[in-house]
Structure 1
Amino acid sequence: MKILVKQIGEYKKDTIITPIFTVLEVVAELLVPYVIAALIDQGIEAGNLKNVYLYGGAMILLAFLGLLFGVLAGRSAASASAGFACNLRQSMFENIQTFAFSNIDKFSTAGLVTRMTTDVTNMQMAFQMCLRIALRAPLMLICSMAMCLLINAKLSMIFLAAIVVLAAATTLIMSNAMKIYNHVFHRYDDLNASVQENISALRVVKAFVREDYENEKFTKAATKLYELFVRAEKLEALNMPVMMFIVYGCVLAISWFGARFIVAGSMTTGNLTSLFSYVMTAFSSLMMLSMIFVMMTMSAASGRRIAEVLREQPGITNPASPVDLVKDGSIDFDHVSFSYRQGSGEKTLSDIDLHIKSGETIGIIGGTGCGKSSLVSLISRLYDVDSGSVRVGGEDVRNYDLETLRNQVAVVLQKNVLFSGTVMDNLCWGKAEGYMDEYRNACRMACADEFVERLPKGYESWVERGGANFSGGQKQRLCIARALLKSPKVLILDDSTSAVDTATDTKIRKAMQTAIPGTTKLIIAQRISSVQDADRILVLDNGRVSGFDTHESLLKTNTIYQEIYEVQTKGGGDFDNQ
Structure 2
Amino acid sequence: MTLLLRYLKPYKKSIAALLILMFGGIMLELYLPTLMANMVDFGIAKEDMDYVYQTGGWMLFCSIFAVALTVGVNYLSSGVAHGFGKDLRRSLFVQVQKFSLQQFERFGPASLMTRTTNDIRQVQDLVNALFGMMTRAPIMLLGGILLAFYRDSMLSLVFIAVLPVLAGIIFLIMRKAVPLFGLLQLKTDRLNLIIREKLSGIRVIRAFNRTEYENGRFNQANEDYRDTGIKVNKITAYLFPAMSMVMSVTNVSIVWFGGIRIDQGHMQIGNLMAFLQYAMMIMVALIMLSMMFVMIPRAQASANRIADVLRLEPTIADAGSNKLATEIKGRIEFAEVTFRYPGAANPALRSVSFQAGPGETTAIIGSTGSGKTTLLQLIPRLYDVESGAILIDGVDIRDMPQRSLRSRIGYVTQKASLFRGTIADNVAFGRDQLAPDQLEEALRIAQALDFVRSKEKGADEEVAQGGANFSGGQKQRLSIARALARKPAIYLFDDSFSALDYKTDAELRKALKQVTGDATILIVAQRVSTVKDADRIIVLHEGAISGIGSHEELLSSNNIYREIVASQLTEEESA
TM-score interval, smaller chain: over 0.9
The code of the aligned residue for 2:139 comes to: L
Q: Which residue of 1 aligns with 2:278?
A: 278
Matched with 2:337 is 336
CA contact 1:332–1:355 (8 Å) conserved in 2: yes
Number of the residue aligned with 1:529:
529
User: Does 1:473 find its partner at 2:501?
Assistant: no
Deviations 1:491-514 (A, max 9, x none): 111011111111111111111112
The residue number in structure 2 matching 1:423 is 423
Greater Cα shift, 472-481 or 533-542: 533-542
**Is the contact between residue 360 and residue 535 of structure 1 (CA under 8 Å) also seen in structure 2?**
yes
Matches within 5 A, 1:348-497: 348-497=348-497
- TM (normalized to structure 1)? 0.96
Partner of 2:44: 44
Q: Deviations 1:204-243 (Å, cap 9, x if unpaired)?
A: 2222232222222222222121111111111111112222
Displacement of 1:515 = 1.9
* Aligned residue number for residue 576 of structure 1: none
Match status 1:296 vs 2:283: no
Letter in 1 for 2:136: R
Deviation at 1:244, TM superposition (A): 2.3
| Counterpart secondary structure, 2:430 | coil
For residues 377 and 438 of structure 1, the distance between their equivalents in structure 2, rounded to whole angstroms, comes to 27
Q: Which residue of 1 aligns with 2:322?
A: 322
Counterpart of 1:540 in structure 2 is 540
Q: Which amino acid aligns with 2:346?
A: E
Return the TM-score normalized by structure 2: 0.96
Identity of aligned residues (%): 37
Aligned residues of 2:324 and 2:395 also touching (Cα < 8 A): no
User: Matches of 1:242 and 1:421 in 2, distance apart?
Assistant: 55
Determine helix, strand or coil for the equivalent of 1:429. Answer: helix
Structure 1 runs not aligned, ≥5 long: 573-578
Q: 1 CA distance for matches of 2:159 and 2:515?
A: 88
Distance between the aligned counterparts of 1:152 and 1:518, measured in 2?
A: 93
CA distance in 2, matches of 1:94, 1:49: 67
Letter in 1 for 2:134: A
Number of matched residues? 572
1:96 aligns with 2:96: yes
Could you tell me how far 1:311 is from its partner in structure 2? 2.2
Give 1:460's aligned amino acid: D
Letter of the aligned partner of 1:330 in structure 2?
Answer: R
Superimposed CA distance per residue, residues 464-511 of structure 1 (whole angstroms, 9 cap, x where no aligned partner): 121111111101101101101111221111011111111111111111
Contact 1:497 1:505 in 2 (8 A): yes
Deviation at 1:571, TM superposition (A): 8.0
Task: Give me the whole-angstrom Cα distance separating, in 1, the residues matched to 2:48 and 2:174.
Answer: 50
Q: Deviations over 1:387-439 (max 9, x none)?
A: 11111222221122212211222110121211111111111113332332222
Is this contact kept in 2: 1:258–1:267, CA < 8 A? yes
Q: Distance in 2 between matches of 1:316 and 1:252?
A: 66
Q: Give the whole-Å Cα distance in 1 for the aligned partners of 2:255 and 2:77.
A: 39
Answer whether contact 1:324 1:400 (CA < 8 A) is retained. Answer: yes
The CA deviation string for residues 493-541 of structure 1, in whole angstroms up to 9 with x for no partner, is 1011111111111111111112212212111111112111212211111
Letter aligned with residue 333 of structure 2 = D
The amino acid of 1:339's aligned partner reads: R
CA RMSD of aligned residues (A): 1.7
Corresponding residue for residue 243 of structure 1: 243
Partner SS state of residue 55, structure 1 = helix
Indicate conservation of the 8 Å contact 1:336/1:353, yes or no: yes
Q: Which amino acid aligns with 2:330?
A: G
Alpha-carbon displacement from aligned partner over 1:541-571 (angstroms, at most 9, x marks no partner)? 1101111111122222222112222222248
Question: Separation in 1 of the partners of 2:401 and 2:159?
Answer: 69
* Maintained 8 Å contact 1:418/1:426: yes
Consecutive unaligned residues in structure 2, runs of 5 or more: none
Question: What does residue 23 of structure 1 align with?
Answer: 23
Matched, 1:165 2:188: no
